[in-house]
Amino acid sequence: MPANLTPQYKEAEQRFRQAATHVEKLETLREMLALLPKHKGTEKIQADLRKRIAKLEEEEAAPRRAGAQRFDPGHVPREGAGQWVLLGPPNAGKSALVRALTHAHPEVAPYPFTTRAPLPGMMPFEDVQVQLVDTPPVAPAHTEPYLPNLAHSADGILLVLDIAADDLEESVRGLTALLDKARVWPLERPLPHDAPPFLLVKPVFAIGNKRDLDPDGTFVSLAREAVPGGIPFHAVSAEHGTGLEDLRPLLFRSLDRIRIYAKEPGKKPDLERPFVLKRGATVHALALAVHKEVAERVKYARIWGAARFDGQQVDRDHVLADRDVVELHS
Ligand SMILES: Nc1nc2c(ncn2[C@@H]2O[C@H](COP(=O)(O)OP(=O)(O)O)[C@@H](O)[C@H]2O)c(=O)[nH]1
Ligand SMILES: [Mg+2]
């Protein structure tokens, strides 16, 4: 029995052949199925289309379940109070550090290239969460081409080094070259007046890992000297947990964010889930974070906080402080 395919169907099929992306393919296949005359002569084509659609739908759903990035490994959606990207040579202990500080479980192994895609984890700190992103190594032999993008969009960068490694200086050179490529300028390095344009200034720290292998501190001082100026150095042991308790507050505070507890008039504030805003945020910025409509209506606020007397009335341009409790009024 002939299939009697319509010109519209043939046109959709033509677009399917030219479809470049997963989404386009899925869309054109669905269109073809809708346009296909449904009779005995097209049964085989119907079954084939349904099978292809199911397969593409499955592929689309699978990586999302695993939390992986399907199209662009150079972009990890920011979550929580801010995002730190860990960069370092193979075996420095990047994965061990993410494991020790977050609930994520990247594979830790004594051989290189265990981590291929960026893997985010959330580090709890007081009443907020900070995102840490584990990455594949920066190595002379191979560096994933998406790493500069990842560094470019992060809020802060941790350069993870094995203080006991022979090639520490070479690793530092590789990492500084990557920062240059990403146009990242360490926050604590003075910016020259003739600095190249479009630099992104953000906190960059060096983490000297495996401090447990260095009882007399020799490796730590050598590593500290190898790190260029403007990049503060912190010695830790991811496996023994030493130095990590100082690292947690540092990672939150360096993001320069404030926590605000919103409160409805006559009700208790929600002290469990603060809004995290950039330092310098106003009452209006808080209202925007609550809801667009709230922001349109807000006229003033009452504030309970260290810097204010309780319930003090302020206008919508008032700059908030960390841990303020704020009641919005329209
Ligand atoms: N002694 C010691 N070994 C560590 C420490 N952190 C990681 N390692 C070991 O170093 C190797 C590489 O660690 P891993 O986290 O996979 O490194 P990555 O390649 O940078 O992700 C593993 O064998 C870890 O057990 C540490 O603080 N002290
Ligand atoms: Mg790793």
| Rounded Cα–Cα distance for residues 153 and 122 (Å) | 17
Mutation probe of ligand 1 site: the residue of 95, 97, 102, 108 with most atoms within 8 A of C-beta: 108
Model confidence pTM above 0.85 = no
Determine whether the shortest distance from the Cβ of 116 to ligand 1 is under 6 A.
Answer: no
| pLDDT, tens digit, 9 for 90 and up, residues 96-125 | 999 999 988 877 777 666 557 899 999 999
Ligand nearest to the CA of 106: 2
> Which residue has the least CA distance to atom 14 on ligand 1?
93
258-329 fold: Ubiquitin-like (UB roll) (3.10.20)
| pLDDT, tens digit, 9 for 90 and up, residues 169-212 | 999 999 999 999 999 999 999 988 888 778 899 999 999 999 99
- Give the whole-number percent of the chain exceeding pLDDT 90: 64
| pLDDT, tens digit, 9 for 90 and up, residues 262-282 | 988 888 888 888 999 999 999
Domain with CATH 3.10.20.30 in the chain: 258-329
Ligand nearest to the CA of 110: 1
Q: How far is CA 99 from the centre of its chain?
A: 16
Average pLDDT for 215-243 = 97
Domain with CATH 3.40.50.300 in the chain: 83-253
Determine whether the shortest distance from the Cβ of 135 to ligand 1 is under 6 A.
Answer: no
Average pLDDT for 218-235 = 98
The residue ranges of DSSP E strands in the chain, in sequence order, are: 83-87, 119-125, 128-134, 156-162, 184-186, 200-202, 204-209, 233-235, 257-263, 275-278, 300-304, 312-315, 325-329
Determine whether the shortest distance from the Cβ of 96 to ligand 1 is under 6 A.
Answer: yes
Determine whether the shortest distance from the Cβ of 87 to ligand 1 is under 6 A.
Answer: no
> How far does the chain reach from its first CA to its final CA, in angstroms?
70
209 CA: nearest ligand 1 atom: 27
Q: Which two tokens stand for residue 166?
A: 């022979």
Determine whether the shortest distance from the Cβ of 94 to ligand 1 is under 6 A.
Answer: yes
Q: Among 20-24, 223-227, 302-306, which is the least confidently predicted range?
A: 20-24
| CATH class in words for 83-253 | alpha beta
Determine whether the shortest distance from the Cβ of 110 to ligand 1 is under 6 A.
Answer: yes
Distance, CA 247 to ligand 2 centroid (Å)?
Answer: 19
pLDDT of residue 69: 42
